[in-house]
């Protein structure tokens, strides 16, 4: 497995090995010892699967308290995946990374606690699978405005489809309850 560090410390891009032939391919999407060697030691307690159509944007979401780290991969299709550092006091506060995850490239992204996360579907449909290290807590959910001009995210989709919750989200500067950076 190849591990690629990003400009946001703790956010990792992972490229698991694929073994393929004329029948298709095989890949280990998670193996506790290998991922622990990469620094991902969280015990995952919840798995999620979403299916979305082209242009659907889900995000930017996080939980605080009851934060979640996430390990994401795309089983079908392609998405632009975005992580934003929203930890108050962090040297990279308000900065983001955006990478394409697809069934073709087989990449995964690990998003640690304290980061807002979202994705937009670039293909006709996309199935996104993710493991979480804490249970979903609606009372702890925070939503950051996807098109906050201070974040400067190029989502690559002109008019995304949003949920009512994502449409009503506040810009990062107006969001209360953000997590604190711990060095």
Catalytic positions, written as ranges = 61, 130
170: β partners: 144
Q: What tokens appear for 8 in the block? A: 């946001």
Contact yes or no for 144/40 (Cβ under 8 A): no
Contact yes or no for 136/46 (Cβ under 8 A): yes
d(CA 68, CA 133): 6
Residues in the chain: 183
């Amino acid at each position: 497995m190849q591990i690629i560090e990003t400009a946001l410390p703790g956010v990792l891009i992972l490229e698991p090995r694929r073994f393929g032939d004329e029948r298709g391919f095989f890949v280990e999407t998670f193996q506790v010892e290998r991922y622990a060697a990469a620094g991902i030691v969280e015990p995952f307690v919840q798995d999620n699967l979403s299916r979305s159509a082209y242009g659907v944007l889900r995000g930017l979401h996080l939980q605080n308290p009851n934060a979640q780290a996430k390990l994401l991969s795309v089983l079908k299709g392609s998405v632009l995946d975005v992580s934003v550092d929203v930890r108050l006091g962090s040297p990279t506060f308000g900065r983001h990374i955006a990478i394409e995850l697809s069934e073709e490239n087989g990449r995964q992204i690990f998003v640690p606690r304290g980061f807002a996360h979202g994705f937009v579907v670039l293909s006709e449909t996309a199935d996104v699978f993710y493991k979480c290290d804490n249970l979903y807590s609606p009372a702890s959910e925070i939503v950051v405005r996807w098109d906050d001009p201070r974040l400067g995210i190029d989502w690559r989709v002109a008019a995304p489809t949003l949920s009512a919750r994502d449409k009503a989200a506040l810009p990062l500067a107006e969001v209360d309850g953000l997590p604190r950076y711990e060095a």
